[in-house]
Structure 1
Amino acid sequence: MKATSVRLDDETLERVGRMAEAMDRPRAWLMAHAIKKFVEQEEWFIREVELGIEAADKEQLEEHADVKAKWEAKRAASMD
């Protein structure tokens, strides 16, 4: 693994330090973990947007009312 540096403002660095201490982990581990999770989330988001654009280009979109009905049914089922 290649070492690199990250510049953070003092307040954020203190917060990271407190979190790392609470988790009994080194501060560097916490920062690396946070960056990894951020990158994974952003990669997922970009893929999903690209899939949405492809679907729109192929005119394979669902009607808003249909999507809303599915989510309302899902929500109602989870409240039972």
Structure 2
Amino acid sequence: MSLKATSVRLDDETLARIGQMAEAMDRPRAWLMAEAIKQYVAREEWFIHEVEQGVAAADANRLIDHTDLKARWEAKRAAKMD
């Protein structure tokens, strides 16, 4: 994996907080920032994918009425409580 140096502009307070977290974790500040960005990107990719699936389902008229969905969840919850 190749790494390319980039710069990120952060306000002093955020940078200080990152420094404190990195110190507490015994990790370099750059590692912590890279890890945070990786997690953010993964979460946003997942969200975009899920939205696209929802739009495709709506376009294909594969929707569930709110009342039906609520009844399914309530039945599932009741079954778990037994």
Deviation for aligned residue 1:71 = 3.3
Matches within 5 A, 1:13-28: 13-28=15-30
- Equivalent residue number for residue 32 of structure 2: 30
Q: CA RMSD in A?
A: 1.6
Identify unmatched segments of 5+ residues in structure 1: none
- Equivalent residue number for residue 66 of structure 2: 64
**TM-score, normalisation: structure 1:** 0.87
Tell me the percent identity: 72
> d(CA) in 2 for partners of 1:75 and 1:15?
41
**TM-score, normalisation: structure 2:** 0.85
Identify unmatched segments of 5+ residues in structure 2: none
> Which structure has the greater CA radius of gyration?
2
Deviation for aligned residue 1:75 = 4.6
